[in-house]
Amino acid sequence: MYHQPALLHECINGLCIVPSGIYADLTFGGGGHSRAILEKLDHSGRLIAFDQDEDAFQNCIADERFNLVHANFRYLKNFLRLHKALPLDGILADLGISSYQIDTPERGFATRFDGPLDMRMGRNQGFTAAQMINSYSEEKLISVFKLYGEISNARQLSITITQERKNPITTTSGFIDAIKSCIPANYANKYLAQVFQAIRIEVNDEMSALQTLLKQCAEVLKPGGILAIISYHSLEDRLVKNYIKAGNFEGEPEKDFYGNVDTPFKAINRKPIVPGAEEIKQNPRSRSAKLRIAQKT
């Protein structure tokens, strides 16, 4: 399977799909969520899906109600205008990387394979993980590892990288070998996962893309429209939670002259929806998934 969709039933139920509505799946991947949405739509309903990874197009759905856009979801509004798909009844985004990307060695996302130090979600973008590792200053590396990976020894790690890259580091195994002195023996796998996560987020500019997306959601949804977002780490979840709560990324609601709070969304679930034991058993990669659902006010 290209990718097993996380929290599938919870997402579809949460979207409260209107059969004749227009929906957007911002992270098409293997198409699992998209197919489930299409099953709920009648002949007049529409689904616009996005994926920046050209490999996802092998899963494209042959359905006249469906369009798959080869672009990052940060360009949501532009492509919805192009496809005359405004306003939307609902938006679904399953953030992070797909199982296919993790399991394809030449993509460079996995710690257990040897492959190019790449980590680009869309291979038409220029900046790779190898370029980052071989060019960033020590201080910039420290910032990336602290912010996006919460690496406790970020300074030691960054110093080691700058010392070891006298010969360019170009593969995942070469990178792991270069930093082996920094890897704690008692939780090596978790540590490497955090390091690779930090690099991936930086290479793909993921936090900026998510912020750009969230700012557009209220503009493209009709009143009463539903926003459903699955995140996989605390940085993503915090941005989503704060934006739903306050309409900004700090999480502090802004008041008008009279003290009234005007936020674009109303949270449907105060606490994130997480997978149950059975789903985690069937799909272990879903274990960190957190789903937040909100309705446009």
CA distance 197 to 199: 5
Of the CATH numbers 3.30.1280.10, 3.40.50.150, 1.10.3210.10, 3.30.70.3040, which one belongs to the domain with range 8-99+206-296? 3.40.50.150
- Name the pairing type of β-strands 22-25 and 88-94: parallel
pLDDT in tens, the chain (297 residues): 677 899 999 999 999 999 999 999 999 999 999 999 999 999 999 999 999 999 999 999 999 999 999 999 999 999 999 999 999 999 999 998 998 999 999 999 999 999 999 999 998 888 999 999 999 999 999 999 999 999 999 999 999 999 999 999 999 999 999 999 999 999 999 999 999 999 999 999 999 999 999 999 999 999 999 999 999 999 999 999 999 999 999 998 888 778 787 899 999 999 999 999 999 999 998 999 999 999 999
SS3 9: helix
Q: What is the CATH T-level fold of the domain 126-203, as seen in this structure?
A: DNA polymerase; domain 1 (1.10.150)
Structure tokens given for 266: 């109303």
CA distance 38 to 46: 8
Cβ-defined contacts of 138-146 (< 8 Å, 24+): 138/162, 144/198, 144/199, 144/201, 144/202, 145/195, 145/198
Q: What is the pTM of this model?
A: 0.94
Spell out the domain ranges in the chain.
8-99+206-296, 126-203
